[in-house]
Amino acid sequence: MDTILVAGSPNKEVVYSTTCFHQVYQQIDGSQLVIELVQLGDLPQPVSFVDWIPYLDAALDIVKGCLKIGAFVYPPTAIVLLPLAAVGSLIQVGLKFVPQPDKVGEKLKELEKTIFEVEKKMKATFNDLRSFVTETEFTADIINETAVLMRLMRNCLKQADEDAIANFREEYEKKSPLSLAYDMISLLELRSTNPLIMAMATEKIKMKHTFQKWEDTITGLLGQFVIDASGSICQWLIKRKNEFDYERIKERSEEVKKALLDWKEEIGTDEQYWEEMKRYMGEPLRDPHVSNAVKAQWIKEKLDTYLTNDAFYVIVYDKYENSYQFNKTAKANDNQFIEMSNYGTGNGHAMIYRSRLANSVDEDRMGDMRKKVEAFNTSFEELQRMDWTSIPNAGLVLLIGTINEVILFSNCPKFEKGPGWYSGYFYYGGPTHRIMLAGFH
């Protein structure tokens, strides 16, 4: 069985982890959250309360990870929240033991408090969701009913008595998380009630953080349905398996995940950001006291803010004197380049190349380009005479060296060196060693 731990996305830094699990798998999807999937064994037999402590710790790991980002995260692959199911089982078994051991009781209270902290963080997000959807009363019902289930589940953790479990069971049977999930998904299916589509429509230039905000909100709410309803605590509290509910939520959530990717690709075709980038390009180049590395980083960070399907190379360099220092062969369209030379008092020189296809090609095609570039890294004279414009799928081939060049790339998470490939410094003929860069069309 699988469960989840939550990790941060921008720099792939783990937000919260644990050492008692094994077989870790990371799923990274661009700006999406990183999910660590870890495999656990079977539930232990309730011999003593000590046997349950590792599962309480595991449940705390999951919820504390959620607390770091303020959301219950539904991962992009099937999960069963085994540690949470263990907690539900413990509550049932625990009613037979008097008195309840202090250590177990303390951990149950800690889990309840941590879930409450996550709920508080999510309230602001849900308020944003409610304000954007026209059918506000309908949306409020979904959010409020989900909150009621969470509160009653926390009461089970806090009190662990028959009354708390009965109250949870009664509310669950009235409005199951499966029906809430269907209600939520029905909102997303219409553009007029889809908060992500509505928010993006208000932006002339489509911004990545806006999309990610609503993506996290939607997946966070679906994740809360999973916590509430499927193979977890309530599976034990209502004394029946909820595999049907779980599978239906999982299937519909996978549909939402695919829809999010489709919406992202559709919105990413908008090109209005490019004109803004042309206007911005000169700003980092003005200051003569700023290094090329800093200038390149500023340009990259600006590109990183846009929601687009395009991928980019950023090259910043000093003035060149001859074609040995800077030799550009371009087969791409002019509108795939932004170039500035001798700009401002800093005499800045920079080029942005945008690849229209790199984010949609497979590893094999990009690998062919890499092999072709690396084939030039040889001292054999006959290979030095090869026509580097023959590199497959290249919209740009650049030889550059000795001009304080800095090469960065943006919005191309699939590939090691961005939307193409570039070599190390090598002797390609002429008086100096240079870098060869090939950018995919």
Q: What is the DSSP string of 165-210?
A: HHHHHHHHHHS-HHHHHHHHHHHHTSGGG-HHHHHHHT-SS-BHHH
**pTM of the predicted model as reported, rounded to 2 decimal places:** 0.73
Nearest Cα to Cα of residue 308 among 372, 358, 246, 258: 358
pLDDT, residue 246, reads: 62
Do residues 256 and 288 both lie within one domain? no
pLDDT, residue 386, reads: 54
Residue the block writes with tokens 């002019």: 334
Nearest Cα to Cα of residue 40 among 26, 51, 24: 24
Do residues 182 and 289 both lie within one domain? no
List helix spans (H) across 230-271: 233-237, 243-267
Do residues 139 and 215 both lie within one domain? yes
* Neighbour-count burial for 35-64, b at 16+ CB within 10 Å, e otherwise: bbbbebeebeebeebeebebbbebbbbbbb
Do residues 176 and 94 both lie within one domain? yes
Residue the block writes with tokens 């029946």: 240
Do residues 53 and 195 both lie within one domain? yes
Do residues 183 and 303 both lie within one domain? no
Do residues 49 and 158 both lie within one domain? yes
pLDDT, residue 334, reads: 95
* Neighbour-count burial for 258-277, b at 16+ CB within 10 Å, e otherwise: ebbeebbeebbebbebbeeb
Do residues 90 and 193 both lie within one domain? yes
- With beta carbons less than 8 A apart as the criterion, state whether 56 and 107 touch: yes
Question: Who's near 226: CB < 8 A, 6+ residues apart?
Answer: 72, 74, 79, 81, 177, 232, 246, 249, 250, 253
pLDDT in tens, the chain (441 residues): 333 333 333 333 333 333 333 333 333 334 333 334 344 444 444 445 555 556 556 555 655 555 454 444 444 333 334 445 445 555 544 444 444 556 666 666 666 676 666 666 666 666 666 665 544 444 566 767 777 777 777 777 777 677 877 887 787 777 777 777 777 788 888 888 888 898 899 999 999 999 988 887 787 777 766 665 543 455 545 545 455 666 677 777 778 888 999 999 999 999 999 999 999 999 999 888 899 999 999 999 999 999 999 999 999 999 999 988 999 999 999 999 999 987 766 678 999 999 999 999 999 999 999 998 888 766 544 444 556 567 889 999 999 999 999 999 999 999 999 999 999 998 877 788 899 999 999
Tell me 48's DSSP state.
Answer: -
Work out how many domains the chain is built from and give that number. 2
Do residues 58 and 187 both lie within one domain? yes
Domain-terminating residue out of 267, 297, 327: 267
Do residues 59 and 124 both lie within one domain? yes
Domain range enclosing 227: 2-267
pLDDT, residue 98, reads: 41
Domain-terminating residue out of 243, 267, 291: 267
Domain-terminating residue out of 239, 267, 295: 267
Do residues 36 and 158 both lie within one domain? yes
Nearest Cα to Cα of residue 322 among 435, 438, 430: 430
Amino acid at 244: F
Residues listed for the chain: 441
Do residues 214 and 78 both lie within one domain? yes
Beta bridge partners of 18: none
Give backbone dihedrals phi and psi of 316, rounded to 5 degrees, phi first. Answer: -120, 140
